[in-house]
Amino acid sequence: MRVTFVRLADHEWGHVAIERDDGVVYHMNTGPLTGQTPHDLVHYTVEDALGIADGIWGAIAGGVVFRSMRHVSGRRPPHAAERSRELIREHRDRLRNAELIGGLCERSADLSAEQLARFVAGEPSLALTVEQLAVAGAALREAGARWSALPVGGRLELRWPGHRRLRAAGPAPAPTEPPARSRSRRGRTTARPRPSAGSRRRTP
């Protein structure tokens, strides 16, 4: 998936151009831009550095269309809106967690190793190690430097790996039918097994 951030003049409203692997193109509003790293670039950088597939950008790669996104071109697959709602419903908690992780990584990006240890200790619900925070922090500093060096009109083109995307859980397997019961010659009931229903293929 190709993701392009465009550097506009300070305080102009910007967007991110998103071209999915199926050729569908969206623009996602980013709000007013400044020399600071845009919020959506922060999330992209953190999720890419940590290999997160069930965050904001993995969701977009998997077919989620957020309210801030506008369809630009390309033929959307059948039932695209229903699939987007299904993915959000199934993975709402993971998406919220990704928002939290992005914010915490941004807050800790400039901390030393000793400060990171104290930061992790002060966030008991944070499911990240000091090493992971250090990796995300280094990636954020690099992304921030690249962004601030862009001239007005400059573009930052990134590639989100196709395998790292949110996937629907798919329908649950059909329950196995209880065994049919038949009566023996002695009047007792015996079980006559029936073949169980076949499992359904997971939705891609």
Segment 10-69, tens digit of pLDDT: 999 999 999 999 999 999 999 999 999 999 999 999 999 999 999 999 999 999 999 999
Task: Output the average pLDDT for the chain.
Answer: 85
Residue 2 pairs in a beta bridge with 19, 159
Percentage of the residues of the chain whose pLDDT score is greater than 70: 82
- Contact, 14 vs 38, CB < 8 A? yes
The model's confidence at residue 181, banded by pLDDT at 50, 70 and 90, is very low
pLDDT value at 82 more than 70: yes
pLDDT value at 144 more than 70: yes
Q: Residue 168: what pLDDT?
A: 75
Quickly count: other Cβ atoms within 10 Å of residue 118's Cβ.
Answer: 12
Q: Residue 172: what pLDDT?
A: 42
Distance CA 41, CA 26 (A): 16
